Structure 1
Amino acid sequence: MATNLDNFFKQKVQEKKETPFDKPVGKKANSLTKDNAKPVKLRGDLHYTLKNYTAKNGGNIREIVDKAVSEYIEKNNIN
Structure 2
Amino acid sequence: MKNKLVDLRNHLFATLEGLQDEEKPLDVDRAMAVSDVAQKIINTGKLELHLLDLVGQRARSEFLGLPAPEPPTKRELSLIR
TM-score by length of 2: 0.27
Asked which structure has the greater RCO (Cα within 8 Å, sep 6+), the reply is 2
* More helix by percentage: 2
